[in-house]
Structure 1
Amino acid sequence: MIINCGPLSDFTQARYVIYLSTGKRLVLFRLPSIDPSGSKPNEAQGWSYYAMEAECPHAGGPMADSQIDIEDSGYVASCPWHAYDFNVETGESSVGIKACTYPIDVREGTVLLSFPVEGGEHVELAKIEPVSEKVKLKHAIPSNKSSVPVQQAEPGMAHYLDDNATLCDWAVHILNTANPENKIELTTHLFRIFTEREASDSPMDIGRGTVPAPDQPPREKMFTVSPGAMPRTGKGGTLKSRIAMLHALANIELWAIDLAIDICVRFAAFQTEKTSQELPRAYFHDWLKVASDEAKHFSLLRTRIEEMGSHFGALPVHHTLWLSAQETAHDIRARISIIALVHEARGLDVNPMTIEKFRLNGDAPSVEALEVIHHDEITHVTTGHRWLTWICNEEETDPVQVFRSNVSKHFRGPIRGPFNEEARLQAGMDKRYYDPSSAVAAS
């Protein structure tokens, strides 16, 4: 049957989630037409439209967050969990499994979806939601950034580097940027230009080993206390309590930006033992994507805090996450283990409970922001798991044992539950990584 998704003019973003009355979810992609002739039914005004199932057929990963590439004159979407790739038009994959795709016809200014039904079943469009892609910046980005040298930028504005800057130059610049608004602006800009140049004939130079990372990123106008001196946030039953909870989470997201940027520059010159393999460029792309996500998360939380009548910086903060970064600054394996596979994974455990507190108190806007964050952070744990596994495969070691060894050396106390087993497994972490009863078997 044909389902009317709405007028073409409503579709301005790169991807949308389509909710059907049966509970089925699809993802709709709006991508630049590879063939600008516009001769296909799914093309209009220089754009091509594709629909596929929203869950990866391998393990249910969110295809709405997939990475899009062009291969063999067609678009390919790669699942953010385990990098399974699917042609968005045919559903074919290089790994042998196939995703369901659904024809799109753009006719008379309307986007129409062809969806198969059986036995006279009636299916309706429930809703369409744009995928949260953009960071909520407070200030407009200057149109000609590369022409404004760092020394001549206006006070309070973000300082942009020129086109000759390496990834490591950018990383150190972002780490040394104290203003949080400037930090998130520069972070999202770096990810965008790095990604764009990867597809060009002039990819960005990494700058391996050319510039040192700072010992600790500065903060602007923040009252820092020890973790034990932090005021209690409460359970979300009052506005004050919910603001405190969101403020604490925003602080975590701000440090998470620095952690994802730092892992790019601090270990840029890393080579594996025995094989002396450099980190591939995909490593840097993956961590810049994590940093960009964290910038988006901070902006969502900061915006919500302001909507509730407060502002980021109104409450004290702590820098426990950076203490873990300093503890693991000597070893990329330890860094990934503690930051991505302990701290980030712990977020997967507690996020659903936090979201439920806000839901029970009727705070739907906060729930919406927190669900975006939880969804993204599964992919961040996946990134950590992917690159620890890559290093261990090159060095012929067991990633589970490497992880557990680093936890025993660099994390105070055991990894405590309760565990979100489903989310952890989606990210690649089976029970051998965190279940105490699996420790003996793993060793």
Structure 2
Amino acid sequence: MLVNCGPLSDFTQARYVIHLSTGKRLVLFRLPAIDPACSKSNEAQGWSYFSMEAECPHAGGPMADSSVDIEDSAYVVSCPWHAYDFNVETGESSVGIKACTFPVDVRDGSVTVDFPVEDGESIGLGRIEPVSEKVKLKNPNPNPRPSNKQSKSEKPDKQDTPVFVPEDAGPAHYLDEKATFCDWAVHILNSANPEHKIELTTHLFTIFTGREAGGNPMELGRGKLPAPDQPPREKMVEVEPGAMPRTGRGGTLKSRIAMLHALANIELWAIDLAIDICVRFATFHTEGSSKELPRAFFHDWLKVASDEAKHFSLLRTRIEELGSYFGALPVHHGLWRSALETAHDLRSRISIIALVHEARGLDVNPMTIQKFRVAGDNESVQSLEIIHNDEITHVTTGHRWLTWICAQEGTDPVQVFRANVQKHFRGAIRGPFNEEARLQAGMDRRYYEDKPSTGSGVAAT
């Protein structure tokens, strides 16, 4: 059955989620035509349109967040959770499973998707949502150039921003083309201004992946620069984690702002954590086999950092839309204390940061989202849902690389994880656990339950 998704002119982004009236969800990709001279029914104005199921057939990962590559003159998308690849037109995969794809027709000025139905069954379009792909930068530099000077621009008119006028820190400083990956990483870690940090992180991910794809990979610069003991922060009121004011239950505007502010602080530290793991452990070698970390390790954690930059920008933007600003409330550095505790060992760092802290976020995110939904704050809900889906992929990244290290060293990743929790994490990891999200990220119950039937958690000192 043909489902009319709307006029062609409405589709300007790379991907959309299509909600059908039956509850089924599809992903619509809008990608540059590989061969513009060969006109097909799914092509128009130099663009090709493809549709496939929104959930990966392997473990249900969000295909709307997949990466896109060209292989053998065809587009291939890879699930962000476990990197299963699928031809976006045929659904075929190199791992033997197949995704459902649906023919798209873009003739006559409309985009239609051919979705199969049973005889007599009717189906219609519910809604279409563009997928958020870009960080919300305040003052993006359209033509970044290396500079040793940071010029001051005029401050905005206070009448235009009655709540808060941030001090203008000037443009972010960009390194030159000779800079290595670790040069950029240390530069980002030493950037105190949060807007500079997210801008530079996004830029590094763009140029790093672009050069990888273009056959001119960026030099890593392993071991040439040390990571700072602690990334600086700009004019923040710092308190101990236990002294943080209560955020409330989200029933009031003040409470929701406090909750978003606390989450933004976590995301800002998460950028540094993902960048720091690349620099601090750049020269890591596995025991016994003495293998160095492959380039994919640096790409994966830089992708995590880029996601965290997007998350911070979404939260910062929403805080300002609600009438406040990031920095208006106290913050704590609890996450970085865990980074210092695990600065000596990559296995410990992955275990505590990715598989404890990030995984705990998977447990509490649905409850937090529900608080905002009950309050009718749908704009915040949309941002928080984007963040939650991305965080599953971050736990997946941690699980993937701890498993890789253990495979090289002939050890059990579950036991390595548990040993590190007992040594480096205070308190106990207790439920309730988001078992579905954890399993999607690769963490089955062996990681966090002593006795699955009782729901007891991992004990720690």
Residue identity matched to 1:198: E
Structural mapping, 1:49-60, within 5 Å: 49-60=49-60
Give yes or no for the alignment of 1:33 onto 2:33.
yes
For residue 367 of structure 1, the aligned residue among 381, 399, 404 is 381
The answer for the alignment partner of 2:139 in structure 1 is 139
Give yes or no for the alignment of 1:170 onto 2:184.
yes
Q: 2:134, 2:310 within 8 Å by CA — same for their partners in 1? A: yes
The answer for the alignment partner of 1:180 in structure 2 is 194
The answer for the alignment partner of 1:217 in structure 2 is 231
In structure 2, C-alpha distance between the alignment counterparts of 1:69 and 1:271, rounded to whole Å: 30
Q: 1:340, 1:384 within 8 Å by CA — same for their partners in 2? A: yes
For residue 151 of structure 1, the aligned residue among 124, 148, 151 is 148
The answer for the alignment partner of 2:403 in structure 1 is 389
Structure 1 stretches of 4+ with a deviation exceeding 4 A read 438-441
Q: 2:236, 2:327 within 8 Å by CA — same for their partners in 1? A: yes
1:377-406 Cα deviation digits (max 9, x unpaired): 011100100110011111111000000011
Point out where structure 2 has 5 or more consecutive residues left out of the alignment. Answer: 153-169
Residue identity matched to 1:186: L
In structure 2, C-alpha distance between the alignment counterparts of 1:86 and 1:142, rounded to whole Å: 34
- Aligned partner of residue 50 in structure 2, secondary structure: strand
- 1:154, distance to aligned residue in structure 2 (A): 2.5
1:78-102 Cα deviation digits (max 9, x unpaired): 1111111111010001111100001
In structure 2, C-alpha distance between the alignment counterparts of 1:55 and 1:397, rounded to whole Å: 32
The answer for the alignment partner of 2:167 in structure 1 is none
In structure 2, C-alpha distance between the alignment counterparts of 1:78 and 1:224, rounded to whole Å: 41
In structure 2, C-alpha distance between the alignment counterparts of 1:342 and 1:65, rounded to whole Å: 23
- 1:369, distance to aligned residue in structure 2 (A): 1.1
For residue 407 of structure 1, the aligned residue among 396, 408, 421 is 421
For residue 445 of structure 2, the aligned residue among 406, 414, 431 is 431
The answer for the alignment partner of 1:42 in structure 2 is 42
1:25-79 Cα deviation digits (max 9, x unpaired): 0001111222121422212222211100000111111111111111122111111
For residue 277 of structure 1, the aligned residue among 279, 291, 301 is 291
Structural mapping, 1:43-442, within 5 Å: 43-143=43-143, 145=144, 148-155=145-152, 156-437=170-451
Kindly, what percent of the aligned residue pairs are identical? 79
Larger displacement relative to structure 2 (317-326 or 149-158): 149-158
In structure 1, C-alpha distance between the alignment counterparts of 2:62 and 2:391, rounded to whole Å: 12
- Aligned partner of residue 260 in structure 1, secondary structure: helix
- Aligned partner of residue 415 in structure 1, secondary structure: coil
Point out where structure 1 has 5 or more consecutive residues left out of the alignment. Answer: none
Q: 2:5, 2:113 within 8 Å by CA — same for their partners in 1? A: yes
Q: 1:392, 1:399 within 8 Å by CA — same for their partners in 2? A: yes
Q: 1:38, 1:44 within 8 Å by CA — same for their partners in 2? A: no
In structure 1, C-alpha distance between the alignment counterparts of 2:236 and 2:76, rounded to whole Å: 44
In structure 2, C-alpha distance between the alignment counterparts of 1:428 and 1:45, rounded to whole Å: 41
